[in-house]
Amino acid sequence: MQKLQLTLAIIKPHAVKNPVALSYIRQVIKNKFIVVKTKRVSLDKEAASNFYKEHMGKFFYNRLVTFMASGCIDLHIMGHANAVELWRKLLGPTSVYKGQFQEPYCLRGMFGISDTRNVAHGSDSSTSAEREIKFFFPDFSFYEWHEFSEEYYR
Which residues lie below 8 Å from residue 134, measured CB to CB, with a gap of 6+?
Answer: 140
For residue 124, which of 94, 92, 88 has the smallest C-alpha distance?
A: 88
Does 64 participate in binding ligand RTP (rule CB under 6 A)?
yes
CA atoms of 74 and 59, how far apart (whole Å): 25
Which residues lie below 8 Å from residue 119, measured CB to CB, with a gap of 6+?
Answer: 11, 12, 14, 15, 21, 25, 91, 107, 108, 111, 112
121 belongs to the catalytic site: yes
CA atoms of 118 and 114, how far apart (whole Å): 6
Nearest distance from C-beta of residue 59 to ligand RTP, angstroms:
7
User: Pattern of binders to ligand RTP over 1-40, x per CB under 6 A?
Assistant: ----------------------------------------
Active-site residue (options: 14, 76, 80, 121): 121
CB 109 within 8 A of CB 30: no
User: Pattern of binders to ligand RTP over 99-128, x per CB under 6 A?
Assistant: ----------------xx-x--xx-x----
Q: Is 136 annotated as a binding residue?
A: no
Does 94 participate in binding ligand RTP (rule CB under 6 A)?
yes
Catalytic residues: 121
Residues that bind ligand RTP (CB under 6 A): 55, 60, 64, 94, 115-116, 118, 121-122, 124
Which residues are known binding-site members for ATP?
Answer: 12, 60, 88, 94, 108, 118
